[in-house]
Copies of this chain bind each other. A is one copy, B any other.
Amino acid sequence: MKQRIAIDMDDVMADTHAKFVRLYLEGEMPRYTLDELKEKSFHELFDEDEYRAISQRVYEPGFFRDIPVMEGAQDVMADLMERYEIFIATAAQEFPNSLREKWDWLHEYFPAISWRNYVFMGDKSILNTAYLIDDMPRNLRTFQGEGLLFDALHNREDTGFRRVKSWQDIAKVLL
């Protein structure tokens, strides 16, 4: 049997941060430029009200449907699927509006992955795969297999997990 890898969607397969940046820059009088937004996390830049305002956008219908695919994800995924069984493990249950949008997004951008391998959940400690690739240290902390931390502005301080900087980096570690 192939080894199993669970892979997160937001900020791993999908460039969710890029979507937030676009929404922020489209808003009224953004205080920061695109270059500044690429250097620091929203937590570092924004005050509490700004942070809450941008975070709330996830509840808007359609938010999850048009997020850009992370650079390199489609090519490396195709290679991973030859050697591993891939499960998509996304914490979609917090946002019930996201459920159908995430299903449609996966079906459009990763058509080779069967719906049988989608897992929409809240708590990732329930997974029994060999690996989990995730941008959230809290998900890796309760995971029982080997966690790989996908690099993101919001997890730069975390040193508890093996870090992958990109999909090319995932390929180097797992292929």
Min C-beta distance of A2 to chain B, whole Å: 13
Residues of chain B with a CB closer than 8 A to A96's CB? 100, 103-104, 115
Q: Contact: B100 with A100, CB < 8 Å?
A: yes
Size range of the chain A interface in the assembly = 20 to 34
Number of copies: 2
Residues of chain B with a CB closer than 8 A to A87's CB? 123, 126
Mark out the residues of chain A between 2 and 25 whose CB falls within 8 Å of any chain B CB in the assembled complex. Answer: 4, 6
Q: Contact: A123 with B128, CB < 8 Å?
A: no
Main secondary structure of the interface of A (DSSP, over half): mixed
Please encode chain A, from 110 to 144, with 1 for each CB lying within 8 Å of some chain B CB and 0 for all others. Answer: 00001111111111001111000000000000001
4 shortest interchain CB distances as A-B pairs: A116-B122, A128-B128, A99-B99, A93-B115
**A-B pairs with beta carbons under 8 Å apart, 12 shown:** A87-B126, A94-B116, A99-B100, A99-B120, A116-B122, A117-B123, A119-B122, A126-B127, A126-B129, A127-B128, A128-B128, A128-B144
